[in-house]
Amino acid sequence: MSALSALEDALENRWEALRARLFGREPVELVDALRRECDSHAVVCGAGRVMVPNAYDVELAGPVHDELSRHGAGVGQALTDRLARHAARHGYEWAGPLTVHVRRSAEVPGGRYRVASTVMPHVSADAFQRAGERTR
């Protein structure tokens, strides 16, 4: 095992342990909420083409956001990576570059999190159709 592989394994194990210690199952629930949001807004655009929103907003209750912020800024990237893998497994196409924005909100129902998705407003459906035709 190379030193780089050992470092990667150690970092992954520490990240998983941190998430489990902080929230128990909540990160899994948050990833599941992102997946459901993605799946529920999937649109069939043609034979074999399924488009999904590309901009996701995750609003966290104050205590949850504070705890995650104390342990680094990689939460948004980790959520983005998990959602990207989900979409790849289902053959989804993004309606533009994928982003997951994590922010604090005092208005989160239930005091945990809220997830919403949109297609970035500056990107038109016609542009996606043309982009899809160019990649074939």
Q: Is 66 exposed, middle or buried (0-12, 13-18, 19+ CB in 10 A)?
A: exposed
Picking from 136, 133, 38, the residue whose alpha carbon sits closest to that of residue 91 is: 38
- Closest to 66 (Cα-Cα) out of 16, 111, 4, 11: 111
Dump pLDDT digits (tens) for 19-62.
555 554 446 778 889 999 999 999 998 888 899 999 999 998 88
pTM of the model: 0.67
